[in-house]
Amino acid sequence: MAKRDIPEINAGSMADIAFLLLVFFLVTTTMDSDFGLMRKLPPLIEDQVDTPPIKDRNVFVVLANANDQLLVEGELMEVSELREAAKEFIANPSNKSNLPEKKETDVPFFGTTMVSKQVISLQNDKGTSYDLYIQVQNELAAAYNELRNELAVEQFGRSYDQLVEAGDKDRVKAVRKIYPQRISEAEPKDVGR
């Protein structure tokens, strides 16, 4: 009896088809990479220089615990109230003695102006949810942006955001000098629930 050959399938073009499918999925798939926080990190310093201590009245302490509760300056606070509290602290419009000190600074377009020595200290627990962390960051950034917008409209007749969009670097820098964004993030701790 004669032995029969089994017919083979030509697999030469299978690799081409697989490659085309791979290219198709790579080209048509979109990946959202605009997620996260835009922050400018401080430069890497080889030798840490001891900084002078900051007075307690100049520090706005924001703690987020593992139960997603916010403790601001020792009191429970809702995230929705954080922006106004931060604005009050940053600006210190009434020069209250329990809010940040101010120092006289020469600022272009504004002349000699009193600038707050404020620092916001943000500390999270290791169990704090990412959602709360982002909400707190957004509220603090919004507080600075609102103050900057109000100041720019008052001084230049245009909001801070419009100055940034227009590329008016000198005016933007002047507004930032009056309201510098100083958010210090401490290392997360595991303080329990």
Domain holding 121, by residue range, is 56-185
The structural domain count of the chain equals 1
The sign of the CA dihedral 86, 92, 94, 96 is: positive
Does the residue 66 lie in any domain? yes
Does the residue 99 lie in any domain? yes
> Which of 70, 95, 94 lies closest to 81 in space, CA to CA?
70
Does the residue 81 lie in any domain? yes
* Statement: the pTM of the whole predicted model exceeds 0.75: no
Does the residue 128 lie in any domain? yes
Residues in a beta bridge with 115? 103
| Residues of the chain falling short of pLDDT 70 | 1-2, 32-52, 189-193
Tell me the C-alpha distance between 21 and 91, whole Å.
Answer: 58
Does the residue 166 lie in any domain? yes
Does the residue 27 lie in any domain? no
For 128, counting Cβ atoms within 10 Å of its Cβ (0-12 exposed, 13-18 middle, 19+ buried), the class is: buried
> Which of 69, 181, 64, 81 lies closest to 123 in space, CA to CA?
64
Does the residue 86 lie in any domain? yes
Does the residue 102 lie in any domain? yes
How confident is the model over 157-166, as pLDDT tens digits? 999 999 999 9
The pLDDT assigned to 34 comes to: 60
The pLDDT assigned to 170 comes to: 95
The pLDDT assigned to 5 comes to: 77
